Amino acid sequence: MWNLVLLSLVCLIVSLIYNFYLSEPISIVRYPKKNYDYIVVGAGTAGCVIASRLSESKEVSVLLVEAGGYFKWHSSIPLAAPLLQRTNSDWAYATDSQEYSSRGLRHQKQFWPRGKGLGGSGQMNFVLHSFGVPEDYSRWPAEWSYKNLLPYFRRVEEIINITVVSAEEKLARAFHKSGIEIAHKNATFSLASNTLKKGARSSSYHAYLKRAWSRKNLHILMNALVTKILFTKLRAEGIQVKYSSGKVERIMANKEIILCGGTVNTPQLLMLSGIGPVDELRKHHIPVVKQQEQVGRNLYDHLNVPIYVNLKAPVSVTLNKLKSFNEIFKFFVFGNGMLASNAIVGTGRSGHSGILLFGMGTVDESLLKEIANFHTSTFRAVFPSYADPKLEGFIYLSSCLQPESRGNITLRSNESSDSPIINPGYLESDHDIECTHNAIQLALETLTTTGFVDLGASAHVPKLRECSNWPQDYTNHDFTECLTRTVGLTSHHPGGTCRMGKNHDSTAVVDEDLRVIGVDGLRIMDASVLPYPVSGTPNSVIIAMAERAADIIVTWK
C-alpha cells in the first residue's frame, strides 16, 4: 500500500516538473512579432476558443495576449477553486459600496474574483455546466437564438468533457425525488452537470488552447497587459502592451482585434482607448475616438442567498472527510472521491426563481469569510458549521435567474493599472426581491419531501441583527427581504456591459456579428456582450458563442 502511495506521489511530482518546466509549448513567446493577422486580447474562456479556432488556418497568424501567466496546478481540483481567490491568479476586484444589498459584508462591498492567467475565470470557477433554457435567448438578436446556437451547444458537449452527478448518491437521490414530488408550478429539477474529466477541471484552456499551442502560426504572449487599442481614424489598427518589466510596445493587426477580456476588463479597455460615454472620457482626459454611451452599462449578476440545511444522516461533504487520508488517496491515485467533485448536487427552478444544492456540510471560516467579505457575526449566523468540521449539512443557494437590477462599470482613472469602479446595483429592483423570495420557498418545499425527511433535513434560520425586527420565519416576506439584502452574495456571473444588439439599437455596443458599432476592425466576444442573463452558469454558453464567433470571423469578407 505505502509503496503504491509513494510511487503515485513521485509520478505526480515528476509530471508537474515536466509539464511546467520542460515542456513549454512552441506557441509561448516572449518577443512577439510587430504584426499579426488577428490579435486576441484575453486568454479567458472565450479567448482560448477564438485563438484555437482562428489558428486552425495555417494561412493566418494569431497572437493571444494575456495579462497573467499559468495557473497553479491545484486549479485542476474543483473544490480548491476558493484557494485561488485573492492570489496573483485573480484580478481581485471589489464592487463599490452597495446601497440596496450586501449589508452583512464589510463596507457593503462584494469581492469579485476574475481569473487572471491562461484559461481566465474558467480556471477558477466551480465547473458547473449549463446552457440555460431556450426562453433565455428570446430577447437576444435573432442570429443568436437558441435554435441557431443549438449546433454549437452540441459541439461544446463533444469537445468539453461533461459528467453528471450519480443519482445513486443519497443526497442526489433525495434531491431528484423532491423534484418528482413537487412537480407543480412548472418546477424543474436536474442533477448537476459538470465539466470534469477523470476528477479534474475541463475548461476551454484544456479543450481548446492546449491542443492548439504547438502551432507555429499561433503566438501566446503572457504577463503582458493591453493598455490601449490603437486607432487610425475609426479603424482599430493595433494594441499597446505593457510588460511586467515596465516596457511598453505596440503590436499591429492586419485584419482584426478581438477583445475577450470579460465583463470588467473589456469595457475598461474600450474607455481607456477612447470608446465610451463622452462625459466619462472627458472626466479622465481621454481623447474621444467614438462616442458610445452604453459601454460599461447594463451590468447584471445573479445574487445568491445561502440557506444552511442541517442533516442527521452522514451524506454530505465535510472538512474532516476531505482531509482524510482515504479521500486524498482516492483523488491522487484514482481521480475520484470527494476531491474529484465540486460538491454541487443539482439545480432547480420555477419560473425565474432558481436553487442550487451545494453539498458541503462544513465551511472554513478562515477562508470563506475572507473571500466573501462577510462580517464575522454575519458569517457565523448564516453558517452554523463554522466551528464544527464534522457537522453534516448542505447549503441551498437561492437566486433570481433573470434579475432586473442593472449597474455599471466606470473608470477610476485613465491609468490601466487602476481597477475600474464596479457598481452592480444589486436589488435596486423590487422584482428581484420577490423573485428571490420565491426561490427560497422552493428550497424550503424540497425539505418537506420524503427523501429529505428521511435524511433529517431542517433549515437553519440565522439570527441576524439587521433582521431582528421581523418574525424569524422564511415564509415572512419582510424577513426574506432583509435576509436577501443582508447576506446575498455574488454568483460570479457578471455580464452585459457591452451588450449585443441590432446595428440601429441605441442600447447596443456590438452588432449581431459582434463588431463594435461605429468602428472597424474590432470585435468583442466574452460575457460582456450577453444582453440578458443566462438562467444558470454562463461558462459553457460563452464557449459555444465563441465557437460561433470564430465561424463568423473566418467567413467575414
φ, ψ at 96 (rounded to 5°) = -65, 160
Q: For residue 213, count CB atoms less than 10 angstroms from its CB and return exposed for 0-12, middle for 13-18, buried for 19 or more.
A: buried
In a 13 Å sphere around the CA of 535, the CA atoms on its Cβ side amount to 23
Q: Which of 129, 176, 219, 493 is catalytic?
A: 493
* Residues in the chain, overall count: 557
Closest CA to 223 of 75, 25, 65: 65
493 is catalytic: yes
| 399 contacts 439 by C-beta, under 8 angstroms | yes
Measured between alpha carbons, how far apart are the two ends of the chain, in Å? 63
How far apart are alpha carbons 204 and 210 in whole angstroms?
Answer: 9
Asked if 443 and 397 touch (Cβ cutoff 8 Å), the reply is no
List the grid coordinates of 205: 484552456
For residue 365, give every residue at least 6 positions away whose Cβ sits within 8 Å of its Cβ, in sequence order, or none: 379, 380, 383, 386, 387
- The letter for the amino acid at 25 is P
- Whether 373 and 92 have beta carbons less than 8 Å apart is answered as no
Q: What span, in angstroms and rounded, lies between the C-alpha atoms of 291 and 268? A: 14
Own/partner contacts of 325-332, CB < 8 Å, gap of 24 or more, are: 329/5, 331/77, 331/199, 332/8, 332/9, 332/12
525: nearest Cα among 267, 292, 270, 259: 259
- Angle among Cα 543, 296, 152 to the nearest 5 degrees reads 15
What HEC string does 53-92 produce? HHCCCCCCCEEEECCCECCCHHHHCHHHHHHHCCCCCECC
Instruction: Say how many CA atoms lie within 13 Å of 271 toward its Cβ.
Output: 35
- Cα-Cα-Cα-Cα torsion 371, 374, 378, 379, nearest 10 degrees, comes to 10
Contact at 8 Å (CB) between 226 and 265? no
Catalytic residue numbers?
493
